[in-house]
Structure 1
Amino acid sequence: MSRRAFVRWLLAIGAVLVGLSAWFSLLVKKKFIPEEQAIAAPVATSEPPQQATSAPSEEPLPLGPLMSFFILSDLHVTSGDSLPNKKLRLALDDVTQFDGPVDAIMLTGDLTDTGTEVDYKALRAIMNNYKLPPIHGNMGNHDYYTIWINKANSWDQDNVPNGKSDAVSREQFKKFMGYTSIYNDFTTNGHSILLLSQEAYVQEKPEVGEGAWYSDEQLAWFKGRLGNLYKPGRPLFVMTHQPLPPVGTDGATHQLIRAIQFRETLKPYKNVFVFCGHRHQDFQNGTPHYIQETFHYFHNASVGRTLNRAYQQTAQDKAQGIYVQVFADKVVVRGREFSNRTFIEEANWTVPLEKAHA
């Protein structure tokens, strides 16, 4: 064999060995390395690999309600008419057997029909039959009606004030509620409710009629408590009895009288919910019950005397109120028919809360 032929023979043998080595390596990879891992093997690049990033997520909101309460307005309990008393029992039957949390009950005015000791006694007799959550209330115009009632417990307009006074009415309300003042606030589960009360009636201030007059002292207290209790991002609740007049005006009889100052006091705050009674309007008669101003404004119906648009008590069996639930990002307000223990489709509002600015 020539030298050139020997070199060619060596090169051929080398090529065969390299091929055999590659084939054996492939067999080993197929046997011991999963196919997916082999496919996903990284390819070398000149740039360093980048770290995976994800967008920051907000803390998840609590699912359940943070606070829940009922608002019962215009009970009109009296010794002289059994129907409002029966309707209050229906409401309290529902509230105490309600399939959901109830942290408190608001009584927003006209607890009684005449504000007399006899009426308060009838109201206490009904409530004593129930194990109730904490109860808070304010005064309505009917809670001042004791001046119209004589010693025989009869309506006596000719002899007003029948030996009574507006001061007597205030003291009877405070005694019943266990208050030292007719306007109050309370906080439960981190959420606050303020209750404003009509401070005088026609015996002291004939010009107010059936309207709600608040003194300088009460309005100063209201402004101060708002500043102390308000928490950005959380709702704050205000209870009145009489409704507000149109924006830009002060009220008169059957309205909140110093309405301009009331609205100005609320203007700096977000997520404020104001509830009033007095109108007795049926949630199902087509009248508006929610108005959005700089705050959220709701008109309640009545437990004792639910009325139609003409202010007639045509639906003798109806007894209505409001159920409020506070969530981390919203407030849900729902009308409740106590006579059949159902929610009212026409009265169902979900109000998103404005978030606190960082």
Structure 2
Amino acid sequence: MRRYVAAALFTLLMAVLLIPGTGLAGPKQLEEPLLKFAVFSDVHVMDAWSIDHYKSTYKFTHALRDIAPLKPEFLVINGDLSNGRPKDLELVQTINKANGNFKLYPTMGNHEYYYQWENPEWNDNKAKAVFRNVFRLKKLYYDHFEQGAHFIHLSPEQYMDKQKVIGEAAWLSDEQISWFEKTLLSSKAPTFVFLHQPLDKTVGKTDNGVSAVQTNQLLAIAGKHPQVIWFSGHSHVSITAPTEFLQRDNITFVGLGSVYQPIVDRIADHFKSESRFVELYRDRIVIRDRFHHKNSFGETYTIPISDKSLLKP
């Protein structure tokens, strides 16, 4: 008798678990995303032997090992991969290959130009050439499609070497801005845009001198597209801050904190390490906070897709 009762209870339990909308194991929970990818920023890998070398290499290695079980299709590192030395960039490649060997899509940050502070013979052009060579890029800015979604990677092209007024802000050439407009508007698919420095008055700490010089042009272009998700780093403001996820004019602005050292309540936190993890579904984009120091997820943000017919089934 007990055997029959147990069997009946098991059957009832399975039926409940499979009922859509129960919040337990309905179809939504079983759905697999079309695409998964991770987005890092401000890794600051340093090859020179110092406390910063140990800290940056350890945190980057740990972050890669943390995301490996999540099986992202690729990894974006949105600027400040290094501190500007050629050996720093080579070390980024070495660490990645040894800890997941993720397909990597990088953009330059202001720190990629920093070697000129140590080497008087270094300049912007050498910094850009080394970056392209190490990561085998034909151009500093480029795009690609994944499962029907569009990915656009922008890069700052000058540092103080040529224009002192730029400071740590992003400066983009007319050629890159023209390319961005043409490339962005060539498709109506959901589009992810990556630029190391944020745009003025978007995510936190976007005052003059740290954001993009051509903010107004970039915003005007992005506003013409039906759906843009814009990722930025540079400020190190923690992803837990309420300023780091903002939606306006069909654009979603997402801050990336820092793998190396986020800033929490205006104080640098030497222990923490943060990034974002993105899942693409046919009807929505899910962005999740990832805390590498905890090996766990935090808040989840869901963005409905305006035209899901553009994505691959």
TM-score (norm 2): 0.82
Q: In 2, are the aligned partners of 1:208 and 1:252 still within 8 Å (CA)?
A: no
Residue 213 of structure 1 is aligned with which of 171, 174, 196? Answer: 171
Q: Does 1:111 align with 2:69?
A: no
Q: Does 1:266 align with 2:222?
A: yes
1:94/1:271 Cα in 2 relative to 1: closer, same or farther (>3 Å)?
same
Partner of 1:5: none
Partner of 2:64: 92
Q: Does 1:75 align with 2:43?
A: yes
CA-CA distance at 1:342 after TM superposition: 0.1
Alpha-carbon distance between aligned partners in 2 of 1:307 and 1:132, rounded to the nearest angstrom: 28
Q: Which amino acid aligns with 2:98?
A: N
Q: In 2, are the aligned partners of 1:251 and 1:257 still within 8 Å (CA)?
A: no
Residue 318 of structure 1 is aligned with which of 242, 255, 272? Answer: 272
Residue 181 of structure 2 is aligned with which of 212, 215, 223? Answer: 223
Partner of 1:255: 211
CA-CA distance at 1:64 after TM superposition: 2.2
CA-CA distance at 1:348 after TM superposition: 1.7
CA-to-aligned-CA distance 1:140-189 (integer Å, 9 cap, x gap): 00011010013xxxxxxxxxxx1111111111111111012111111122
Q: In 2, are the aligned partners of 1:67 and 1:191 still within 8 Å (CA)?
A: no
Q: Does 1:195 align with 2:150?
A: no
CA-CA distance at 1:132 after TM superposition: 2.5
CA-CA distance at 1:287 after TM superposition: 4.0
1:89/1:300 Cα in 2 relative to 1: closer, same or farther (>3 Å)?
same
Alpha-carbon distance between aligned partners in 2 of 1:251 and 1:199, rounded to the nearest angstrom: 20
Alpha-carbon distance between aligned partners in 2 of 1:288 and 1:134, rounded to the nearest angstrom: 30
Greater Rg, structure 1 or structure 2? 1
Partner of 1:178: 136
Q: Secondary structure at the match of 2:106?
A: strand
Residue 303 of structure 1 is aligned with which of 244, 248, 259? Answer: 259
Q: In 1, are the aligned partners of 2:150 and 2:192 still within 8 Å (CA)?
A: yes
Partner of 1:245: 200
Alpha-carbon distance between aligned partners in 2 of 1:188 and 1:339, rounded to the nearest angstrom: 29
* Structure 1 segment 280-291 matched on structure 2, within 5 A: 280-284=236-240, 286-291=241-246
Q: Secondary structure at the match of 1:123?
A: helix
Q: Which amino acid aligns with 1:348?
A: T
Alpha-carbon distance between aligned partners in 2 of 1:268 and 1:253, rounded to the nearest angstrom: 26
Q: Does 1:63 align with 2:25?
A: no
Alpha-carbon distance between aligned partners in 2 of 1:97 and 1:351, rounded to the nearest angstrom: 24
Q: Which amino acid aligns with 2:73?
A: D
Partner of 1:165: 123
Cα RMSD of the aligned pairs, angstroms, is 2.2
Alpha-carbon distance between aligned partners in 1 of 2:90 and 2:193, rounded to the nearest angstrom: 28
User: Which runs of structure 1 show a deviation greater than 6 angstroms over 4 or more consecutive aligned residues?
Assistant: none
CA-CA distance at 1:206 after TM superposition: 1.1
Alpha-carbon distance between aligned partners in 2 of 1:309 and 1:244, rounded to the nearest angstrom: 21
Alpha-carbon distance between aligned partners in 2 of 1:246 and 1:319, rounded to the nearest angstrom: 25
Q: Secondary structure at the match of 2:264?
A: coil
Q: Does 1:122 align with 2:76?
A: no
Alpha-carbon distance between aligned partners in 1 of 2:114 and 2:198, rounded to the nearest angstrom: 19
Q: Does 1:350 align with 2:302?
A: yes
Q: In 2, are the aligned partners of 1:251 and 1:259 still within 8 Å (CA)?
A: no
Alpha-carbon distance between aligned partners in 2 of 1:349 and 1:356, rounded to the nearest angstrom: 18
1:356/1:106 Cα in 2 relative to 1: closer, same or farther (>3 Å)?
closer
Partner of 2:11: none
CA-CA distance at 1:356 after TM superposition: 6.9
Unaligned 5+ residue runs, structure 1? Answer: 1-59, 151-161
Partner of 1:292: 247
Q: Which amino acid aligns with 2:247?
A: Q
Q: In 2, are the aligned partners of 1:281 and 1:287 still within 8 Å (CA)?
A: no
Alpha-carbon distance between aligned partners in 2 of 1:289 and 1:239, rounded to the nearest angstrom: 15
Q: In 2, are the aligned partners of 1:96 and 1:132 still within 8 Å (CA)?
A: no
Q: Which amino acid aligns with 1:291?
A: L
Q: Which amino acid aligns with 2:144?
A: F
